[in-house]
Amino acid sequence: MIKNIKAALARVSRAGLDVLQAGPRSTQGTSVNYMSVNTLDPSRLASAFAAADQGYITEQATLFELIEEQDPHIFSELAKRRRSVTGLGWQLTPPEDANQSEIDRTKELDDILRKIPRFEDAQYDLTDAIGKGLAPLQIDWQTGSTWYPKGLLFVPQRMFRIDRETGKLMYLKNSMPEPLREWGWVVHEHRAKSGYIESSALFRVLGWTYAYKAYNIRDMQRFLEMYGLPLRLGKYPAGIGDKQRDQLLKAVRNIGNDGAGVVPGNMTIDFIQAMKAGTVDDFLNATTYWERKQSMAILGGTLTSQADGKTSTNALGAIHDKVRREIMLHDVRQIAPTMNGQIVKPVALINGMFPENRLPVFEYQTEETVDQGKMVDVLDKAAGMGMQIDVDYAHKIMQIPKADKGATLLVSSGKAAAKPGPSDAALVRLAALAKGAAPDITSAYAAQLAALCAPHEQDLIQQIGAIVAEAGDFDEALAGIEALTANNPKWAEDMALGMAAADLAGRADVGAE
């Protein structure tokens, strides 16, 4: 094992990892024209997408960033989807058939990961790829006896290019592409649809909805600016010069802002009251239409953003929750390999903790919360029927972690000091019924006796099944069953003890009266 670990360590080079490839933020180009997206139109989108298909993703990434920032609806819906992943717990599972040494080193690696500063925020940054296709994080390594990421630093997607031949991401340093340094980056690629990574982003769909919605919003703004305002009409006599006509036009325009103006005596300004017949509802309906399409693209439905009391029924809500869970599981299945291959693996190999073929597994806890009270009842009845249930499975399905070695165990307040045998344990449960004031003592004892006798009944059923399987016809099977006797001393003993406990409980009950 030690030889394998050293061999794995020898294959990992730490050269250059103590220096950030992208450098500090002050050296990165972060200038963006924030007003440019206000005039976004389909032709500009198509041009950006065509350039991205050739690997030049800067313009596309910039548009994606500005759309998310300037469209509150897209931001809100996308944040819901991203938080559904980062809100999950996670665990590091030892490799299959792990020995004690591997279990101990898995716990050590788990501690290293949990101590990474803002590790949960870094996972949220990775989910930025859900909308934009990819999310690059630069690893800032802490050097020393143990190497670990002291920071996972997000770098905007617009600062990269995709190599057309290899499909690999290249960092643009002074506008010149260079390969990403091995073990120096975490790059999560997330596909909302099939295709190359530059064309599979969710924002490739959302970009069109934003452009079309922007038309309606701009038209609505122009409508609201003019709605209800009187028409200002300037009149001038025939034969007036262009200069004087321009002065009148300027006065007409300024009177709307300043409320005052000066014109020659031979000119007039008339105010014509506008008919307030227009409505803004058409613009709002068009905007709502595109926002519903955006919600469907991001979350698979519209109920979380639409609570009008008409369509938000419980049945539709349950269906929508199911769809959202399917989307969450889809996202987790894409993010988990990135966590394993680009965070767990580098830390483990650089520190020589594991060989490459025996790495622990990073897993998100996606199990739904169970009703533990009902599950306890199910497990107890199943065990009483003779089902062989693995204790580890019971811990997992109950979502209660197994106690570590040497830990103080929780003990039931009604548990006896001595450990009873199987039959005695059943009698203890029967006797416990006698101490309580059970409203229906007959039903309670019948249920406990049924559980006590279940293993013996199961054995008898198996014997009957064997007779039927071996019989040549119905008469032979019937004769074999009639000849079968329940000659089981242990069963008779359990029945006798159970009846005795019931008899004693009944006498005690009568005596108490």
Angstrom distance (rounded) from CA 11 to CA 26: 34
Angstrom distance (rounded) from CA 265 to CA 97: 100
Kindly write down the DSSP assignment for every residue of 115-131, as one continuous string. Answer: TSTTHHHHHHHHTTHHH
* Chain segment 169-210, per-residue pLDDT in tens: 999 988 889 999 988 999 999 998 888 899 889 999 988 888
Cα-based distances in Å from 82 to 88, 326, 331, 367, 403: 11, 14, 9, 18, 33
Angstrom distance (rounded) from CA 368 to CA 398: 11
Three-state DSSP state, 160? strand
Provide the pLDDT confidence category of residue 160 given band limits of 50, 70 and 90: very high
Number of other CB atoms surrounding residue 180 within 10 Å: 17
Cα-based distances in Å from 367 to 1, 398, 413: 34, 11, 30
Q: Which two tokens stand for residue 52?
A: 């991205």
For residue 130, what pLDDT is reported? 93
CB burial of residue 422 (10 Å; 0-12, 13-18, 19+): exposed
Q: What is the mean pLDDT of residues 432-447?
A: 56
Q: For residue 257, what is the DSSP state?
A: H
Beta pairing partners, 149: 141
Angstrom distance (rounded) from CA 315 to CA 79: 25
* Chain segment 126-135, per-residue pLDDT in tens: 999 999 999 9
Bridge-based pairing state of the strands 90-93 and 185-189: unpaired
Q: Which amino acid is at 416?
A: A
Q: Which amino acid is at 489?
A: P
Number of other CB atoms surrounding residue 91 within 10 Å: 13
Nearest by Cα to 156 from 182, 129, 192: 129
Angstrom distance (rounded) from CA 259 to CA 272: 16
Are 200 and 191 in contact by the 8 Å Cβ rule? The answer is yes
Quick check: 464 pLDDT over 70?
yes
* Chain segment 226-283, per-residue pLDDT in tens: 555 566 667 777 777 788 778 777 777 776 665 566 667 667 666 666 555 556 677 6
Provide the pLDDT confidence category of residue 427 given band limits of 50, 70 and 90: low
For residue 82, what pLDDT is reported? 92
By residue count, the chain amounts to: 513
Angstrom distance (rounded) from CA 108 to CA 351: 11
pLDDT: is 188 or 458 the higher one? 188
What is the edge-to-edge ordering of all strands in the sheet holding 176-179? 160-162, 169-173, 176-179
Nearest by Cα to 306 from 328, 296, 210, 315: 296
Three-state DSSP state, 134? strand
Q: What is the mean pLDDT of residues 152-168?
A: 92
Angstrom distance (rounded) from CA 184 to CA 169: 13
Angstrom distance (rounded) from CA 327 to CA 13: 38
Task: Determine the distance from the C-alpha atom of residue 325 to the mean position of all C-alpha atoms in its chain, rounded to a whole number.
Answer: 8
Question: Which percentage of the chain shows pLDDT scores above 70?
Answer: 71
Quick check: 64 pLDDT over 80?
yes
Are 377 and 384 in contact by the 8 Å Cβ rule? The answer is no
Using H for helix, E for strand and C for coil, what is the string for 213-249?
HHHHHHHHHHHHHHCCCCEEEEECCCCCCHHHHHHHH
Question: Which percentage of the chain shows pLDDT scores above 90?
Answer: 26
User: What b/e readout covers 119-158, taking b as 16+ CB neighbours within 10 angstroms?
Assistant: eeebbbbbbbbbbbbbbbbbbbbeeeeebbbebbbbbbbb
Q: Which two tokens stand for residue 5?
A: 């670990």
For residue 292, what pLDDT is reported? 87
Provide the pLDDT confidence category of residue 6 given band limits of 50, 70 and 90: very low
Q: What is the mean pLDDT of residues 47-70?
A: 91
pLDDT: is 369 or 354 the higher one? 354
Angstrom distance (rounded) from CA 133 to CA 129: 5
Nearest by Cα to 153 from 25, 64, 12: 25
Angstrom distance (rounded) from CA 475 to CA 399: 52
Beta pairing partners, 363: 91
For residue 395, what pLDDT is reported? 80
Angstrom distance (rounded) from CA 55 to CA 53: 5
Range in 19-28, 270-279, 403-412 with the lowest mean pLDDT: 270-279
Q: What is the mean pLDDT of residues 462-476?
A: 76
Q: What is the mean pLDDT of residues 15-23?
A: 76
Beta pairing partners, 135: 188
Quick check: 161 pLDDT over 50?
yes
Are 360 and 92 in contact by the 8 Å Cβ rule? The answer is yes
Beta strands in 21-163, from DSSP E residues, in sequence order: 90-93, 134-142, 148-154, 160-162
Quick check: 418 pLDDT over 60?
no
Provide the pLDDT confidence category of residue 506 given band limits of 50, 70 and 90: low
Provide the pLDDT confidence category of residue 1 given band limits of 50, 70 and 90: very low
Cα-based distances in Å from 44 to 290, 416, 489: 19, 78, 88
Angstrom distance (rounded) from CA 399 to CA 365: 10
Bridge-based pairing state of the strands 148-154 and 134-142: antiparallel
Range in 82-91, 117-126, 421-430 with the lowest mean pLDDT: 421-430
Angstrom distance (rounded) from CA 360 to CA 336: 12
Provide the pLDDT confidence category of residue 405 given band limits of 50, 70 and 90: confident
Dihedral pair phi/psi, residue 451, rounded to 5°:
-65, -35
